[in-house]
Amino acid sequence: MTEKKIYDIVIIGGGPGGLSAAKSAAENGAKSILVLERDREVGGILQQCVHNGFGLHHFKEELTGPGYAQKCYDLVKDRLEVEIMTDTMVLHIRESEGTKVVTAVNPKNGLMNVEGKTVILTMGCRERTRGAIRIPGYRPAGVYTAGAAQRMVNMEGYLPGHKIVILGSGDIGLIMARRMSLEGCKVEAVLEICPFSNGLTRNIVQCLNDYDIPLYLSHTITGIKGKDRVEGVTVSKVDDKMRPIAGTEFDIDCDTILLSVGLIPENELSRELGVAIHPRTNGPVVDQHRETSMDGVFAAGNVVHVHDLVDFVSDEAEIAGKFAAIKANGEAQPAKKDIAVNPGDGVNTCVPQHIRLADGADESVRLFMRARSPERKVTLHITDANGDVMKKPLPIVKPSEMIAVDIPAAKVKALAGDVTVSIEGGK
Amino acid sequence: MKKKADVVVIGGGITGTAVLAALARYDLECVLVEREPDISMGTTKANSAVLHAGFDAPTGSMKAKMNARGNEMYHELADEFGLDIKWTGSYVCASDDEGVKTLEELKARGEANGVKGLEIIAGDKVRDKEPNLSKDIKAALWAPTAGICWPFGMAIAFAENAIANGAEVVRECEATGIRVEDGKVTAVETTQGDIETRFVVDAAGVYADAVAAMAGDKSFTINPRKGEYILFDKTAKDSLVSSVVFPVPTKTSKGILVCATTHGNVFIGPNAQDDCGREDVSVTPAGMDEIIAGAKRLVPNIPMGASITEFAGLRAVSSTGDFILGESDAADGLLLAAGIQSPGLTSAPAIAEYLTDIIVKKTGAKERTNYVKGHKAAPVFREASDEEKAALIAKDARYGRVICRCETITEGEIVEAIHGLCGATTVDGVKRRTRAGMGRCQGGFCGPRVIEILSRELGKRVPEIRKDGVKSYMYYDKSYDGGDAK
Ligand SMILES: Cc1cc2nc3c(=O)[nH]c(=O)nc-3n(C[C@H](O)[C@H](O)[C@H](O)COP(=O)(O)OP(=O)(O)OC[C@H]3O[C@@H](n4cnc5c(N)ncnc54)[C@H](O)[C@@H]3O)c2cc1C
Ligand SMILES: Cc1cc2nc3c(=O)[nH]c(=O)nc-3n(C[C@H](O)[C@H](O)[C@H](O)COP(=O)(O)OP(=O)(O)OC[C@H]3O[C@@H](n4cnc5c(N)ncnc54)[C@H](O)[C@@H]3O)c2cc1C
């Protein structure tokens, strides 16, 4: 028996989050990093996003999803510090005498327990389903989440159907509207229950307008027809409380319904481990280093909060990787100040939820926020116990587009009491 | 398919499969025909899955007798057939004086029906056991012999035991006629050809009247009554219940309950909606509002954000109001198991015993000498110990590949389910046998992979794989010519 190996870092999930964290951890001095990925290949959800538009921020070039994933992989594959195991499902993580014990299984090694001084959670998210939003009607074949359909079309080479209605105007739904049109299918409509779209503006233009696909705002599906296979949907307008308005129903013939109704961070492992989960983001509560409520447990990417751009996932994961490496090497300074960052008026979520500072810390902090509603010409206002910290005018904000703002190091150092972030000047 | 049999059972729900398993103990040639691609696709797949104690039905009714006997039999069959049953007990909760009076009546009726251990307990004591229940609940009738079960698994266990004993289960085979000559049943006509037989068991659920009419029996009708449900993720169970909680019953149903499942989920429902069609398993906004409101009277804080699916089932309500069991007056050899609404699941083994006795008496059939007892449940990776897990993977590496992440279901289990004696041929068939796709993501992640495995194991192309029903195809080839699309 060889001596029991304890990795510096065990990374759960080999999407862009996990791979970027591994790269940054290696660059920052971690000697042994293990990435565990349940799929046959690394790359996460990007493997099925064959369109382009990735990487402009992070790699300063335009890539497809698989191209972006490849790039993340290329940056770690030859590093001796990084070991990657695919086809490996992590079942449990627990804390044991200061180390983290990760239980995983694969066909080759069977059931195994691996130990890490630290872990980074990068499990991504899953799609919200029909059941979660309670669409009435029959339960036939032909109802898919947009991501599942995307995988079938782009990776397996099959079509989910031919006459499509898409519920939800999230980015995956919009991208799939275009994909299905390019595959020769007819996309009859995209229905959105909110009075505004939940996708990026560029996706509305490039995926709907360019293909003459109608977008119905403030509309939802109130019935699904067909016993074995979808035969059509009943659609209703909704009021400002999102309740269907009687008398506004109309039918659309279709054989397929794609759902793009939101993503849920995949935190079953985190919950079981005992990490505190934030009720609004549905992800771990983290500080600016992406350390969670548990010592040595870090998290980044969609598992923390749903990102619209993978570039920000990589940015965030690099932070987590760096500070996990510092922690594993025993070089982390104890935090002396713990400042809560709270969403104020107009702000739905804000990550990180804490800024923890060691004595003499000299670091800028990037905050990621989501607005509650679409607004024009507003001001992002950050305050602390002493009043103004900073203000930033924003020409336009939308719930679908994450807002990033940097608090410079000097201002971070001067923070007094808890911080509140608000969007002012909206309706 | 056999061309000649002693008994043909029409319908592969819990009733038909339990009858088949009971008949299989005897030296009889038996065939079960089911029109759907799988057994357990009718009412047996959408119900409350409660093994009732037996205090609801009027004393002396067939329902009361079969319920009491069925419940007793399941206590023994559970081990023999490896059935997934938990004896949780049940509560009927009353919030006012009138309700408390009803509890007394139910208790008296239950005792007359032979139910043991019934007890009326105070509201506070109920809340000690089920802390999320409403403060308004004054008292409850506690029935320790009630339980919860996994209905599909039971139907499959019964069917596979029967097959192991030489019976045949033919799926996608609809009975279209029953031939009667000189007042005696001689054959069943099906979409896959005729089967000569002396006995037919009508276990066709909401279609039992249509099947009986094929042999000239028009003495009853079935009027489906729909019940809708909402199912919750396992994470919600701590804010709901861990047993079976009923309100005080109404005239038409046992009311909207809050109830645990054998796998740690919780559901709320059903409502009771008359005059629906025989195929109407749609869920409605009004129905969901009704069951949410009903459930809130028992558990005020229902975590609606944790709902994972909704579904509906049809009660086969007969024109007599009771189960219709035994020999038909219209044709010799036709045996009825009609009007099998609740407590049909609970009663199934008793109904099977009752009908089998009749056939055995009439034929003089002998018990099989080479009878294969029971049914061995397939290994469940998730529930295995670490040593057992390692052993499973060592035997078959596919037990090391997790396909359904929410329920931790491995490729090995899925392959096993496909190659069982009554194996899965559809995505929902795999789900009913293994739970793959039953968790919080509802197959969003594992659906495509289950299709791939089905396709490989069955030697079929992906576009030939179905979700559940006969025409429920899921994916198409890309060769579509575009049609009227842009
Ligand atoms: C369907 C979909 C389409 C998208 N389209 C776009 C787009 O067009 N443009 C854009 O910029 N962004 C898009 N995004 C967002 C962006 O791709 C994601 O933000 C990014 O991929 C998230 O990276 P991640 O590493 O956090 O998560 P993921 O990419 O989801 O990776 C998580 C990885 O963890 C693995 N994992 C999870 N649990 C376990 C476990 N227990 N054991 C082992 N491994 C595990 C998963 O298999 C997965 O590979 C999309 C997201 C989704 C869900
Ligand atoms: C809302 C609701 C809640 C319930 N709760 C409970 C409960 O908690 N406890 C309990 O004990 N019971 C309960 N029940 C009752 C129980 O579910 C049923 O009594 C039981 O499932 C009926 O089984 P079955 O085999 O008779 O009918 P089914 O399961 O409906 O099976 C009949 C089968 O016959 C097939 N068939 C029909 N016609 C033909 C044909 N011509 N040829 C071939 N095949 C045919 C159908 O496809 C179907 O598969 C509930 C029922 C409902 C609706």
Mutate to test the pocket of ligand 2, among B345, B347, B426, B470 (most ligand atoms within 8 A of CB): B345
Quick one: average pLDDT of B75-96? 96
- pLDDT, average across residues B369-392: 94
Return the pLDDT at B482.
Answer: 45
Q: Is residue B401 less than 8 Å (CB to CB) from chain A? A: yes
Residue B442 has what pLDDT? 84
State residue A407's pLDDT score.
97
Provide the pLDDT confidence category of residue B485 given band limits of 50, 70 and 90: very low
**Ligand 1 binding pocket includes A58 (Cβ within 6 Å):** no
Q: Do A131 and B231 touch (CB under 8 A)?
A: yes
pLDDT at A3: 57
Quick: pLDDT tens for A108-117. Answer: 999 999 999 9
- pLDDT by residue (tens digit) across B296-327? 999 999 999 899 899 999 999 999 999 999 99
Taking residues B429-451, what's their average pLDDT? 90
Q: Give chain A's residues under pLDDT 50.
A: 1-2
The CA distance from B84 to A137, in Å, is 30
Q: Which residues of B participate in catalysis according to the annotation? A: 52
pLDDT value, residue A1: 39
B18 CB near ligand 2 (under 6 Å): no
Among all residues of chain B, which has the CA nearest to that of A148?
Answer: B444
Question: Does position B483 have pLDDT exceeding 50, yes or no?
Answer: no
pLDDT at B486: 31
Residues B232-243 pLDDT 10s: 999 899 999 999
pLDDT score at A410: 95
A86 to chain B: closest CA residue: B401
Chain A neighbors of B284, CB-CB under 8 A: 136
Per-residue pLDDT tens digits for B180-230: 999 999 999 999 999 999 999 999 999 999 999 999 999 999 999 999 999
Note the pTM of the prediction, 2 decimals: 0.92
Q: Which ligand is nearest to the CA of A62?
A: 1
Distance from CA of A324 to the nearest CA of B (A): 27
Could you tell me what percent of chain B has a pLDDT over 70? 99
Mean per-residue pLDDT, B126-143: 97
Ligand 1 pocket, residue A266 CB under 6 Å: yes
Task: Give pLDDT, residue B113.
Answer: 97
Ligand 1 site, residue A120, Cβ cutoff 6 A: no
Is residue B480 within 8 angstroms of chain A, CB to CB?
yes
Nearest atom in ligand 2 to the alpha carbon of residue B13 is 25
Q: Which of B386, B398, B471 sits opposite A107 (nearest CB)?
A: B398
B70-84, B250-264, B464-478: the lowest-pLDDT one: B250-264
- CA A204 / ligand 2 centre spacing (Å): 47
Cβ under 8 Å to A: B residues 407-426: 408
pLDDT over 90 percentage in chain B: 91
